Structure 1
């Protein structure tokens, strides 16, 4: 599993390489779809934090918090995290901290492949279209909409099992369409 901001940074680097803009909402949805694909294909989470059901669909809080200052504008820098370094030598001394830019392991071909597949499938779509996809019938957000009151309960977690099952169904539909 990776910090969600590391997955977001992978999408930002892809967008930069392709000279395309990406807004916070679009980035949020791409990270969500990559996480869902990892659950469906590898049966394990891609990110190390929960996904919440908010008004405009699934939200990963660290990605939201890191990039929300951009509003609806394109993101122009990679996300950062603060990480603890070192141990306190005395009880009066706290641990040190550093700001880092989290990235995926360059040798993690499975994750790179997920990022590329999600970009190919969804990268050309608008943030609004991606948001609509996260609300469509059968999506985890839509299945649980009564429980989270259409996103009005911001700390309602979407279960990994529900996200996985939904994406597996989506993949089955995609395979039928190709056949």
Structure 2
């Protein structure tokens, strides 16, 4: 497992971005890492980081990261200029997952990524019977994440 800040710094070294976009990139990095680094949903021991996502109104959110960057609102968080990929000590597999997530999802803005996550089972299942604007702090289930994205391979 990695410190979530190293994953944040990786994405912010690519470009400045809104907190919403950052949250969704973290979600997709976590999700795809879960798929590629574990054999089955019965034993999900390999996680990218320990923090868990909740099914908030605007999509998957790590609450601590929301509070860390909430001052930015809809404005971009500045780019991290001094990130060193080698000092992050990512495995080659992790680098590959992060690079692929950036290549696939990095071109979308936060609102587009929110829309994508709203159509996917992990967020929908965790929201349950909540209305579209209702506060929800239900954690998104790792097994559902694994099954949903693993089925796309």
Tell me which interval the TM-score lies in, with the shorter structure as reference length.
Answer: 0.7 to 0.9
Is 1:167 equivalent to 2:152 in the alignment? no
Residue of structure 1 in register with 2:72 after alignment: 70
1:77-116 aligned at under 5 Å gives the runs 105-116=88-99
In structure 1, distance between residues paired with 2:101 and 2:146:
15
**Could you say which structure has the larger radius of gyration?**
1
Please, what TM-score do these two structures have when normalized by structure 2? 0.82
46-55 or 3-12, larger mean C-alpha shift = 3-12
In structure 1, distance between residues paired with 2:87 and 2:32:
16
Query: Contact 1:53 / 1:148 at 8 angstroms: preserved in 2?
Result: no
Residue of structure 1 in register with 2:25 after alignment: 30
Residue of structure 1 in register with 2:137 after alignment: 155
- Cα deviation, 1:27-53, whole Å, max 9, x if unaligned, reads 000000000001111122111111111
* Structure 1 residue 139, shift from structure 2 partner: 2.4
In structure 2, distance between residues paired with 1:157 and 1:104:
31
Query: Contact 1:4 / 1:62 at 8 angstroms: preserved in 2?
Result: no
Residue of structure 2 in register with 1:124 after alignment: 107
Counterpart of 2:121 (choices 136, 139, 142) is 139
Q: CA RMSD in A?
A: 2.1
In structure 2, distance between residues paired with 1:118 and 1:3:
18
Query: Contact 1:4 / 1:60 at 8 angstroms: preserved in 2?
Result: no
* Structure 1 residue 153, shift from structure 2 partner: 4.2
- Cα deviation, 1:77-99, whole Å, max 9, x if unaligned, reads 65xxxxxxxxxxxxxxxxxxxxx
Higher relative contact order, chain-length normalized (CA < 8 Å, sep 6+)? 2
The gaps in structure 1 that reach 5 residues or longer are 16-20, 79-102, 173-179
* Structure 1 residue 61, shift from structure 2 partner: 1.5
Query: Contact 2:54 / 2:62 at 8 angstroms: preserved in 1?
Result: yes
Residue of structure 2 in register with 1:49 after alignment: 51
* Structure 1 residue 160, shift from structure 2 partner: 0.9
Please, what TM-score do these two structures have when normalized by structure 1? 0.71
